[in-house]
């Protein structure tokens, strides 16, 4: 048997594109922790799609996604530059096909599986300061009931200074 360190396992997951499958009486949900917890499938148990897959591809992921989460900011930052509390922030482009800064960090990150049951999963990402000079922790919990998909996402600032954030 081969034993993996946590870092090796994350690389193995990313290479394999492993996804988590969740089920309820009416729904099936597939989530890919190695690509920001993106939802690759959400469908009725008979296979009829609820979320249609997006035509875009997430950071080299070969499977097209139906939904991905944006944190700590959504949309785009013009020219990758903004000022916050007197500090000028310059971020590198992160969009696979265009030289823009888009959608934060989480959609391109490998997330850790905190917990998983048949019908729910909680995923976590911890960002350490880099060009984005704040540390934060992102959590997402996806839960299927017989009537709904419930998604709860949060970002907790781990830095000692205020951090801009939008979900």
- CA 141/CA 124 separation, integer angstroms: 9
Instruction: Give the up-direction half-sphere exposure of residue 115: CA atoms within 13 A in the CB hemisphere.
Output: 9
Residue 123 has pLDDT above 60, yes or no: yes
Residue 28 has pLDDT above 60, yes or no: yes
- CA 47/CA 30 separation, integer angstroms: 12
The rounded percent of the chain whose pLDDT value lies above 70 is 82
Residue 12 has pLDDT above 80, yes or no: no
Query: Strand, helix or coil at 66?
Result: coil
Residue 2 has pLDDT above 60, yes or no: no
pLDDT, tens digit (0-9, with 9 covering 90-100), for 41-83: 899 999 999 987 665 544 444 345 778 889 999 889 988 999 9
- CA 83/CA 121 separation, integer angstroms: 36
The rounded percent of the chain whose pLDDT value lies above 90 is 60
- Is the pTM higher than 0.85? The answer reads no
- Angle (CA) 159-8-101 rounded to 5° is 45
Q: How many helices (H) and strands (E) does the chain have?
A: 1, 11
DSSP code, position 36: T
ω into 72 cis (within 30 of 0): yes
pLDDT of residue 155: 98
Q: Identify the band that residue 165 occupies on the pLDDT scale cut at 50, 70 and 90.
A: very high
Higher pLDDT, 6 or 149: 149
Question: Three-state SS string across 87-106, please?
Answer: EEEECCCCCCCCCCEECECH
Q: What is the mean pLDDT of the chain?
A: 84
59-92 b/e with 16+ CB inside 10 Å = b? eebebebbbbbbbbbeeebeebeeeeeeeebebe
Q: Per the structure block, which two tokens stand in for 39? A: 């939802």
């Amino acid at each position: 048997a081969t034993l993996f360190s946590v870092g090796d396992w994350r690389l193995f997951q990313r290479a394999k594109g492993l996804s988590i499958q969740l089920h309820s009486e009416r729904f099936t949900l597939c989530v890919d922790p190695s690509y920001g917890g993106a939802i690759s499938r959400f469908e009725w148990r008979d296979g009829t799609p609820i979320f249609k897959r997006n035509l875009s591809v997430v950071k080299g992921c070969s499977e097209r996604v139906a939904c991905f989460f944006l944190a700590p900011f959504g949309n785009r930052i013009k020219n990758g530059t903004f000022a916050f509390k007197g500090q000028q922030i310059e971020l590198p482009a992160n969009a696979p096909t265009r030289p823009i800064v888009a959608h934060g960090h989480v959609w391109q990150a490998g997330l850790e599986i905190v917990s998983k049951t048949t019908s729910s999963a909680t995923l976590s990402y911890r960002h350490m300061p880099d060009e984005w000079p704040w540390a934060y922790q992102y959590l997402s919990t996806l839960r299927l009931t017989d009537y709904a998909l419930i998604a709860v996402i949060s970002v907790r600032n781990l830095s000692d200074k205020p951090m801009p954030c939008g979900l």
